[in-house]
Structure 1
């Protein structure tokens, strides 16, 4: 237990360009993990430690989440720096799946932005306690109080500041409102934290207000502080620290720190906050399913003496083969021991065990419960559970994997290059949101992903890492099809060829699962309500397969179908001519016929778009979004110089928008997109799509 209290597993997550990697770089510097600070853009030809890929340093963005570890005041902190771009959202998803706490970085100027909302949703999905860090307080227009208000109003968090900025005349330090002390960051790179009782006169009142606000919010959610509040007693420092910790771990409160990672202000105070307020591994409840006992739910204990259980949450192709990142939830992992993959049933010997620091590693002999490590030579998929195969046969609940929204045809310039399929196979194994399939009609290889940047990065990586130059087609949107009404079917499949023929009849109906067309469900439903043996039991699985065949390629435009319930409740079989194939074909055609009268609808992905641009170009931005058929949902001035425009726009209309925005705003505008929903395409557009699909099919025939 004493070892566990000294461990923190944290992720650093935020909207793109909020300063996550810069903050991680400072954390590594102040904890003594690195000797020099390097910047994200790599202006000094080195680049930030955690952005080790060449592409990351060139583009100045994080593409892959990177793990490291550091020591601060006798505590070990395992850190995962995650990407901010929506295209790499799976990296954030799987990091948050295995972490005990997180730091939500918010830009002091932009406040809560589109990807901040997505990251917050991911943290809530896995119940991850977090502290917030309002960064970039040195920039013109930064407003920490406005950012906190946005945390409360937009994200519905119970957030309050535990440090406030000192802006006299520029950002030079913070006031700790729990201690009521002024903290300044002196010496080389702000390495010395100087504590003082002399709070500037113009900040004293704000500090007292922030402290009163903090106590007031804690009184609503913490019993002990509530008692003191009602008795009009002032809580002590220790009582406040303990209350903030209890409330943070229970996910009922978010303490907010302020600072500037770039200017080396507030980082050490944030590190203190990680130790004080975020949980250690023993304070988080992790649940597994016991496969030996009908998948009954079991609470895992971060105890190294118990049977081993760990989750492989990320795969990466290393210099020495596949690298598998594992979070050890229970027991311990030792070099030379044998582990058991619950999904495949395979046993593997652990030949090498390492701790990761960006792309470098340190060999270790064992890793105990509550820690994160990496293994070599393990054949597995992302999300596999490993156990000792003796004491426990647990499986961890899988992580959420979003559906791809864009596709691209891909072909190697040199057809005979064997690395083409090798690279695609590796990328699919590493990234669950990256999919590959061969189009059955055109025989083209089609790759699917979360956005243009996502697919572009993989095309670039194929060239750099495998020497495969590719020719790409035009990006295509991941349309879906659904139905808007109930429709009955009564279909007979009959075929006589001289010998045993084919006969099957299926009767039932199809209907939309949800009458909210824009709510996408990942699965369709097959319902068997056949009674009296009208369809023999052995043919019902074939009916389900026929339904699966039909929804894989929609009837009106060939896109996968969603939100469809198929119920079969009657039918007829022949003693000689009926077969599995006959019922599979009958179900396929019954579904296709029923779709025609079920108000078929084509759905397209709609994106939440946020554009930040100088105020003088606001009219240009609004005009460009309107021209693309966007629905403007909000506009606001971030400060005197910049404005924010929010809109909902079809993904199909957003291709090439980055170039247009640059020319409209003289290169000063930025935009981000986040998947919002699938929505019906306009009826006129749907009719054109149907005609084009029919024309394409008739030309093949």
Structure 2
């Protein structure tokens, strides 16, 4: 941050360690797909000596090698950790996925981090700051997370640093954009044959020095005379922005009075403002070229991280209770305090087994010790609550596909833990004699249903085990065994999330599945009164079957279920067979009468019947009861009932009209709108569930990634006749 010319000896081949929280920085890299996050991580690893050449550790594996699926999809689909060291500080770089389907991994990265770098492509103009990126910025702001902005792709011909900085100021600056300002200005070399002037260095606005990267290493010099006016204008603006955020209220008066403020004072005020999240510097970065170790802007960025971003001791830890809910004192980032760590990611390694990425908030985690595992449980997503003791396996620091052994992980650090067989993402690790439970972070709701079937008998035998392991790794996924449709349903965040889940089932767990059309739980009911007569008479020598019953059926209010009433007089149906009639009626109602969906909300009254002293039986009257209900249905109008959901959509004001129009096109009824914060509106509607199976995908497209929605079952109501007729025609029995 102080624009030093420090270098760092190579750390390649050994684990990066920290023995105190103050020597740790945990930084999440945030940005949409293609913004250059992973390339930036590799450039920082190269600049710190963590790798020997761009993106490569000693054995040739890349820094970001984590998942073969990522290589096939050509995008990051999971959170990855790359620890590096600079000026005696361990920096845990958390590379988060940029695609919206992997929001759960991104939020896990933010939970583990103490600051965020928003990576924005300078080559994309206003498209470089997407609506989804603004939403993530607001999420960080809501929890007070310090943020800085890094502009990448400056090496491309269409990159514009000044234009992109203004775009970021407008998008992220809030009421006052004077807290989003550059610390350096890019300097351009001679114009090439294509007319492009490449960025070759940076001008430090506080120091007034020039840092030249054109020779492959960073060199420092005084600015040329023609560079001074540009630097001076931007420098004055930066100083005013820093002073506006200063805790020293006299500083502005002194500055306006003509006093030259000491650079050391400005840097200290800047670092404090960045650490508390009130000032957001803009920096530039580009990867190293021509085999050089230092990419443009990497040293400046490392100085910002080590000097301006807070250490774990400066950030408040999540609230804790005992596993049974009793409050506990707030945690402090103390290596000698009670152990409290959290699993932020769970993965399966084909050689090691389950590996847990753990952030330690208090105490010190050591290999081979027994810890208590506590988990809130997400039963609706297939995750049980945990309250068990487990033995910690080896501790390691990940680097690409390597695992470098660690002797311990102190408060504030992040490490991988092997062989925690019960712990899942979101669980708390604490001392076995002092168990704790951390307040969970907000998990996004999976709202895209994917119905699956085992491809073969062999896959069917392995399916339940594979699915259990899959959801253990990913708490943003929900597993449902739908009792109404008898389908196995994976609820995902989007199509890419679905594709990755199915690929992991196949490659990691050896389970091949087929995706089938998702069904909603339809029901049937009588639209009016009807009568039916069930006659089951078979006499062909020997013991026969004889049962006759007459019923009346009438509809009941929603939620009434099946009500059975006995009004038989004179013993027309013997008392012992009346339960048999009811059993037959209820069995037929469960099977459905029109399109194979359960029959609900009716009263069935048994009014008359006949029996035979020898041939009547329980089975005969069950059959007669079912036949009577079917005959009543044949003469009545049957309503097909569909589930209706309460849908709440949160979108920027610009998209309210298109969203309401789209919901109406889905047979939805908009029941209200209300403002929800600055520039955002909550739209509430009642929409048939059959119309919103793909709404998670469609809303993202409609709102350019800025919309969020929730759904909640409301009730079943009659389906429009033309749609009901189509459903009956498509039923296996043809309706």
Distance 1:228 1:242 in 2: 17
1:315 CA drift (Å): 0.8
Alignment partner of 1:372 is 2:414: yes
Matches within 5 A, 1:243-642: 243-261=269-287, 264-291=295-322, 295-296=326-327, 298-318=329-349, 319-343=351-375, 344-378=386-420, 379-390=422-433, 392-417=434-459, 418-473=461-516, 603=647
SS in 2 for 1:463: helix
1:144 CA drift (Å): 2.3
Distance 1:686 1:91, change over 3 A: farther
Aligned counterpart in structure 2 of residue 160 of structure 1, from 169, 181, 193: 181
Alignment partner of 1:237 is 2:263: yes
Structure 1 window deviating more from structure 2 (459-468 vs 326-335): it is 459-468
2:69 corresponds to: 55
1:689 CA drift (Å): 6.1
SS in 2 for 1:243: helix
| Contact 2:647-2:709 at 8 Å conserved across structures | no
Distance 1:14 1:629, change over 3 A: farther
1:293 CA drift (Å): 9.7
Distance 1:73 1:5 in 2: 13
| Contact 2:243-2:269 at 8 Å conserved across structures | no
Matches within 5 A, 1:15-164: 15-38=32-55, 48-110=62-124, 111-157=128-174, 158-164=179-185
1:655 CA drift (Å): 7.3
Gapped regions of structure 1 (runs ≥ 5): 40-44, 480-487, 503-557, 559-595, 611-621, 631-647, 662-670
1:446 CA drift (Å): 1.9
Distance 2:648 2:324 in 1: 43
Q: How many residues align?
A: 545
Distance 1:206 1:327 in 2: 44
| Contact 2:82-2:93 at 8 Å conserved across structures | yes
1:538 corresponds to: none
| Contact 1:15-1:114 at 8 Å conserved across structures | no
1:676 corresponds to: 708
1:283 CA drift (Å): 1.0
Provide Cα deviations, 1:551-610, integer angstroms capped at 9, x if missing partner. Answer: xxxxxxx9xxxxxxxxxxxxxxxxxxxxxxxxxxxxxxxxxxxxx99x9666497999x9
1:92 CA drift (Å): 0.6
Aligned counterpart in structure 2 of residue 196 of structure 1, from 221, 226, 229: 221
| Contact 1:165-1:259 at 8 Å conserved across structures | no
| Contact 2:323-2:374 at 8 Å conserved across structures | no
1:433 CA drift (Å): 1.6
1:180 corresponds to: 208
Distance 1:476 1:678 in 2: 19
Distance 2:329 2:505 in 1: 42
SS in 2 for 1:342: strand
Structure 1 window deviating more from structure 2 (204-213 vs 671-680): it is 671-680
1:651 CA drift (Å): 8.8
| Contact 1:257-1:270 at 8 Å conserved across structures | yes
| Contact 1:350-1:375 at 8 Å conserved across structures | yes
Distance 1:466 1:385, change over 3 A: closer
1:2 CA drift (Å): 8.8
Provide Cα deviations, 1:483-524, integer angstroms capped at 9, x if missing partner. Answer: xxxxx999799766889x99xxxxxxxxxxxxxxxxxxxxxx
1:236 CA drift (Å): 2.0
1:654 CA drift (Å): 9.7
1:257 CA drift (Å): 0.5
Distance 1:121 1:56 in 2: 28
TM-score under structure 1 normalisation? 0.69
SS in 2 for 1:374: strand
SS in 1 for 2:149: strand
SS in 2 for 1:178: coil
Distance 1:269 1:685 in 2: 63
Provide Cα deviations, 1:390-441, integer angstroms capped at 9, x if missing partner. Answer: 3x44322111111123222222322222333222211211111222223334
Provide Cα deviations, 1:119-142, integer angstroms capped at 9, x if missing partner. Answer: 313323433212110111222332
1:105 CA drift (Å): 0.5
| Contact 1:26-1:37 at 8 Å conserved across structures | yes
Distance 1:654 1:284, change over 3 A: closer
2:237 corresponds to: 213
Structure of larger gyration radius: 2
2:688 corresponds to: none
1:653 CA drift (Å): 8.3
Distance 1:252 1:295, change over 3 A: farther
SS in 1 for 2:155: coil
| Contact 1:604-1:650 at 8 Å conserved across structures | no
TM-score under structure 2 normalisation? 0.66
Distance 2:224 2:30 in 1: 32
SS in 1 for 2:303: helix
Distance 1:176 1:477, change over 3 A: farther
Distance 1:452 1:334, change over 3 A: same
Distance 1:347 1:679 in 2: 37
2:604 corresponds to: none
Distance 1:273 1:443, change over 3 A: same
Distance 2:722 2:61 in 1: 49
Gapped regions of structure 2 (runs ≥ 5): 1-17, 190-196, 290-294, 376-385, 523-556, 567-574, 580-596, 598-639, 667-682, 684-690
Distance 1:651 1:699, change over 3 A: closer
Distance 1:312 1:657, change over 3 A: closer
